[in-house]
Structure 1
């Protein structure tokens, strides 16, 4: 009995040791896993913190196409929540008094060039062949002006007759656009009965997008043959003006007054946005209250167009050498980097929301802005501040805080990402040899500039944000 007890004791001790060892091993694995997870979190935190560091060496860690930021963004874990703030809008759309139209003072009559005398092509360029002299003259303000503004005769962007008839009644417009099937219409919310009756909600699409929308959502037809998705009236453009979808999207966005000539007021929102504020409240807040005729938000990250150009190159949103060439032209023409002494809070807008009264001056601004986009790169944020600079104090506009901009809408992702080969080109030779030149837009970048830019150097850019 004693020997069995002794043997049993030894055997029990061995079993207890095995249990202790196993528990220790489990705890060791658990502690190691926790330590490893903490190490990874600390490394990621350090990496993200370094992006905003003032120390050049640290900030450089995340500025060269950071794979960590890219991976985190793809799973939406690194994106900060949009900075939203309350918009000081009126309480009730029904209580708003619509003011009288703003009188035209500086430019009293504006008309448009629709035929270039030297152009014998039966299918001319949508933006025309604006010469460097015509471009320069277009910035010289007179009581009567005639400028290029897209829509050259027989150049495309045609609408169906049923849509042309419908828009003739549209004095107040909420406009948006979808091209190349990148989005589906998102229904606005919080729209008052008064605004539903007052505004035309016009969604401009190409034939590819119309086909995509019909396959992915419900399109209804009215008795006249008009096409509807919820509150949106679909306006189809035929014979697209440009090869590049991004350029086609600038037509309804920037030339809203040309596409819908009867409009007194318009609010443009990009196709990936869902409007969540009543449009009448938007007009009262951003135009009528301060007696403005144009309103746009300040860019979230950038103030200088040269900083924006640098970000576009890093994000490969257009060919680097062509972005540099446009920036060199602007710098040669006197466009200084933004600084706090400028009258504008920024030279770079968040261009996805544009709020306008269609006066002759705001229409002229839109024409000149479009001409820059047509001549150079399709990145319209680069040219906005330049046109403001050239017009001086003539345009009375409001740049409102970015946090208010984020409170106007809910942002949805594109159905797919756009990319074109020219965006990845690193040299002019590469663009030429590979046939990447656009045939209908950006031709000002290939037309001899009336000054020598060979020795021009762009102002240095301090990267204040890891945007993109």
Structure 2
């Protein structure tokens, strides 16, 4: 095997290990790979994270770590020929209700269809064929008179078949669009990048002259959403984030990144590393510091993320259902708290069900999806043999770079200009030789000092030079 190549830290958040085309088992001419290929033959099989640097008593914040990627060309050739198995669940359909009625105080929204607690419980009862609430309950097609409405031309675009797509969203003009970096030519041609925005964000983009006539900003194809279902921009963002399979029904794989993130690794490489290499159908990073839902709830309350009473109600509800503090007893589950800004997934019935039910929890309770993630995951895993690849947060930071939200940028003070002041020219100093001094006066000054006289001394020449630069 050839020695691995290491990319420059200026091109990645941190070093990333790449392998030449000859190192991978599949051939460049092969359009997909069999799932039977052993991961033991993979060039990244023996890759291990280096030990953390000695802290020396200092506390380091979250940061990226090295990740082993194969080349973008070989990653694209590694797309599985067949879909992953969906345990138990084979057919998933969605509730349609033109006149949803709210019958419970915490029943969610009209857009979500107000599912009852009984319907919520039944949605976790795994069957071969299931019908569940999954947003868009009105209308015959998501985006067409359902709330979260999309122009017909854009809907036709979203119905196209694609093996891989990347998606993001900005609502309430909350973020600045980040352009992906280091995207291969194959991905530029074959992977659509969809950015969902509301009318407020569209107005800003038009006024700033960044949105062209083809509805594009760099790699991003802009999809404008009308008649948004929530007043909270963060809740509106959960619709494409968790219900992407409903908006793009003919897609095999997707990478979701929050609007504040910049993708800096080719999407084929990300999918190969975190899905295909792991034989996983859904991947999400764990929180870098917190693993326990109760700690996450306390942190959200301390940060004022949403109304504290709403968080308390949600956590108490989950406690009555059996939510407990995370411990090693839950291994191999490594965390109950995700860093939900990136979701990498294959669109199959079991993952579609998971994100539907996750959305229903966000719709019913708080918009803080970190609080409901483990409840939905654990309820499904209790019924079927399925798991989620929860990779390290430092690995996530290797392929996305996080920017500030726009409101923070708008309130940041402008950078302070540094003014360099040159000192005035020094006056010539007239030195008197010791031969020209009056010895009598010198001796008298010496006697005065010895007798305790406190006459003020004149500064020496060296001191005057220092003062001239102050």
Fold-level match, TM-score > 0.5? Answer: yes
CA separation in 2, counterparts of 1:205 and 1:143? 36
Give 1 or 2: higher helix fraction: 1
**Aligned counterpart for 1:83 among listed residues 39, 63, 75:** 63
1:388 alignment partner in structure 2: 377
**Aligned counterpart for 1:241 among listed residues 229, 233, 246:** 229
1:336 alignment partner in structure 2: 324
Q: Is the 8 A contact 2:166 2:254 kept in 1?
A: yes
CA separation in 2, counterparts of 1:364 and 1:170? 21
Q: Is the 8 A contact 2:262 2:401 kept in 1?
A: yes
1:246-395 equivalences under 5 Å are: 246-342=234-330, 343-392=332-381, 394=384, 395=386
CA separation in 2, counterparts of 1:164 and 1:262? 12
CA separation in 2, counterparts of 1:417 and 1:79? 25
Matched, 1:166 2:157: yes
Offset, 1:397: 1.6
CA separation in 1, counterparts of 2:277 and 2:293? 29
Deviations, residues 27-78 of structure 1 (Å, cap 9, x unaligned): xxxxxxxxxxxxxxxxxxxxxxxxxxxxxxxxxxxxxxxxxxxxxxxxxxx9
CA separation in 2, counterparts of 1:249 and 1:118? 22
Offset, 1:104: 3.0
Matched, 1:103 2:62: no
CA separation in 2, counterparts of 1:221 and 1:143? 46
Offset, 1:409: 1.2
More deviation, 263-272/208-217: 208-217
Offset, 1:185: 1.3
Q: Is the 8 A contact 2:147 2:227 kept in 1?
A: yes
CA separation in 2, counterparts of 1:362 and 1:252? 15
* Count of aligned pairs: 335
Gap runs ≥5 in structure 2: 1-57, 103-108, 139-144, 410-470
**Pairwise CA RMSD:** 2.1
Provide TM-score, normalisation by structure 1. 0.69
Offset, 1:217: 4.7
Deviations, residues 340-377 of structure 1 (Å, cap 9, x unaligned): 12131100000000000001000000000000000000
Q: Is the 8 A contact 2:112 2:134 kept in 1?
A: yes
Gap runs ≥5 in structure 1: 1-77, 419-468
Provide TM-score, normalisation by structure 2. 0.68
1:104-183 equivalences under 5 Å are: 104-115=86-97, 119=101, 125-153=110-138, 154-171=145-162, 172-183=164-175
Greater Rg over alpha carbons, structure = 2
CA separation in 1, counterparts of 2:178 and 2:363? 28
1:195 alignment partner in structure 2: 187
Q: Is the 8 A contact 2:88 2:127 kept in 1?
A: yes
SS state at 2:389 partner: strand
